Amino acid sequence: MDFRIADTFTDALARLPAPDQKAVKTSAFDLQTNPQHPGLQMHRIENSRDNNFWSVRVNADVRIVLHNTEASLLLAYVDRHDKAYAWAARRRIEAHPTTGAVQIVEVRERVEEIAPVSTPAGERRPPAAPPLPFVKLSDDQLLSVGVPADWLADVRGASEDAFLELGPHLPAEAAESLLQFATTGFLRQPTPAPADPYAHPDALRRFRVVENVDELRQALDAPWDKWMVFLHPSQREIVDKEFSGPARVAGSAGTGKTVVALHRAVRLAKSSPDARVLLATFSDPLAASLATKVRLLAGPETGVIPRIRVASLPGVAAELFELATGRRAHVAKDDQILRALEKAAEESGLAAKLNFLRSEWAHVVDAWQVSDAREYLGVPRLGRDRRLGSKQRERFWPVFAAARASLESRGFYTWPGVFAAVTRHFVGKSAKPFSHIVVDEAQDLGVPELRFLAAIAPAGTDGLFFSGDLGQRIFQQPFSWKALGVDVRGRAATLKVNYRTSHQIRRAADRLLPGP
């Protein structure tokens, strides 16, 4: 018999006070190890359309709602006695007749009529007869995306605003597919029904088989971190997929790109006892946050943690620089670079604004590790707000060359220089420091970082994976990844389901936008 946990259970558990949470966990462990434990006091919930709902006594007031069949034992919900029973009375768990995915379905006639959408103060009232985005969809089309049969009429008669109130009553995959249809006109193609209803991608996002007490403890110790336990099918597909070359996942804020990066790093670390996985990001604080999440996600499998190196890109570059050269990299501070540029400009007699020299150095000369005047004439300057002709570049180059010579004479590197030194050491070598590299916040990669990653990543399957959103780029000028040897064409995906922006936030934003 499979022992499963539902996302509705972890959500409800997180809302209970800490003492009750502790008691619930103890009862859950007892259930897994011995479902016939006499202290559990199991009773069938009679006032329910689903005869498989049972209650489990946690303490004088709290009850676990258990879905008990011959094939599985499912932790479905937990709450105070009356609320737990009321939840079970309004729901049934069944395989959808069309998709084949197991769903937790609200019984339509037991749901109070959904209140009409109110119009907040200051917002223009909608037309008297708002359009109905799903009115022309057939029963077969609605069923194909997981709409329960007893909700078909409600969906077809819902306006856009009414659907935002209706959506939480529907299975998540149905609500998402309908919302996508309302905004794009595209209706998701159905996934073939598997033999096991729990194996359907839509079911995997809500139900998880728990193999042992350690896995159950991991799922219950931090139930608010749902990303640890439940993945959206689009996320799971990217986590599990093998890529023949560099790959990238993109998406707007809140779509779970970091979740994918974390799960992928852990999966790759589990794939082999010899795996050496680098999970890298832009800064030390972000790396520390990722390291905490890796420990949570890997759970008790302590053999996995040592296989994953979580670090900022500058941090791992400094380590590899020391291993490659036998000495530490002394990196010049911003004010030291600025003084070198200022002194070089003064000595050359060139009248140029210091802010321009600093920006040109950071985004062009140092970023591309330009070595001479000829190379400076040919380097791309995409995104720069000031055009420079060949004669202008010839005048500026002696300043940059003198500034670099000044820094080098004092034993200083810049960060792009550190990245470049490590790149030169590893490029062309078959032996690489890591078997897999996963990069989060990849939108902030610059030219030196991308060259560095391409040099230290192994060739072949799953060597280099990026997670980021170019729409969130704040530090770097645009440049061509393909021109630097990192070609993700055919191996790129986009996440579209947003987990942060509720329809209440959307309605508030709508009030700030100008009307038609």
The predicted-structure confidence for 231-263, as pLDDT tens digits, reads as follows 888 899 999 999 999 999 998 888 889 999 999
Q: What is the pLDDT of residue 456?
A: 97
508 lies in some domain: no
Q: Give the residue numbers spanning the domain of 217.
A: 1-228
**CB 515, CB 271: distance < 8 Å:** no
Same domain, 262 and 298: yes
Beta-carbon contacts of 473 under 8 Å, excluding residues fewer than 6 positions away, are 443, 444
pLDDT tier for residue 223 given thresholds of 50, 70 and 90: low
503 lies in some domain: no
pLDDT tier for residue 184 given thresholds of 50, 70 and 90: confident
Mean pLDDT of 303-311: 94
Same domain, 103 and 202: yes
- The enclosing domain of 295 has a CATH number of 3.40.50.300
Residues β-bridged to residue 80: 62
Query: What's 195's DSSP letter?
Result: S
Same domain, 221 and 90: yes
436 lies in some domain: yes
How many domains are there within the chain?
A: 3
Residue 85 φ then ψ, to 5°: -65, -40
Same domain, 113 and 40: yes
28 lies in some domain: yes
Same domain, 179 and 52: yes
Same domain, 358 and 287: no
- The enclosing domain of 133 has a CATH number of 3.30.2310.20
pLDDT tier for residue 305 given thresholds of 50, 70 and 90: very high
Q: What is the pLDDT of residue 89?
A: 95
131 lies in some domain: yes
Tell me which of 374, 397, 412 is where a domain ends: 412
Dihedral, CA atoms, 139, 145, 150, 151, nearest 10 degrees?
-100
Bin 334: left if φ > 0, else alpha if -120 < ψ < 50, else beta: alpha
Task: Tell whether the model's pLDDT for residue 214 goes beyond 90.
Answer: no
Same domain, 1 and 68: yes
Residue 184 φ then ψ, to 5°: -120, -20
Beta-carbon contacts of 327 under 8 Å, excluding residues fewer than 6 positions away, are none
Same domain, 247 and 222: no
Mean pLDDT of 51-74: 95
458 lies in some domain: yes
Same domain, 313 and 407: no
CA 236 – CA 493 distance, rounded (Å): 12
Same domain, 10 and 91: yes
85 lies in some domain: yes
Same domain, 277 and 406: no
Both tokens of 91, joined, read: 């729901």
CA 21 – CA 11 distance, rounded (Å): 12
- Strand order across the 2-6 sheet: 43-44, 53-57, 62-68, 72-80, 2-6, 207-209
Please state the three-class secondary structure of 281-301 as a single string: ECCHHHHHHHHHHHHHHHCCC
511 lies in some domain: no
- Identify the residue with better confidence: 221 or 72: 72
Tell me the DSSP string of 202-264.
Answer: HHHTTEEE--SHHHHHHHHHSTT-GGGT---HHHHHHHH---SS-EEEEE-TTS-HHHHHHHH
Tell me which of 369, 394, 412 is where a domain ends: 412
Tell me which of 367, 389, 412 is where a domain ends: 412
Share of the chain above pLDDT 90, in %: 65
Which pLDDT tens digit goes with each residue over 188-210? 888 888 899 999 999 998 999 98
Same domain, 259 and 180: no
Characterize the bridge pairing of strands 277-281 and 436-439: parallel
Which of 48-57, 280-289, 381-390, 434-443 is the least confident region? 381-390
Mean pLDDT of 431-459: 94
**CB 466, CB 249: distance < 8 Å:** yes
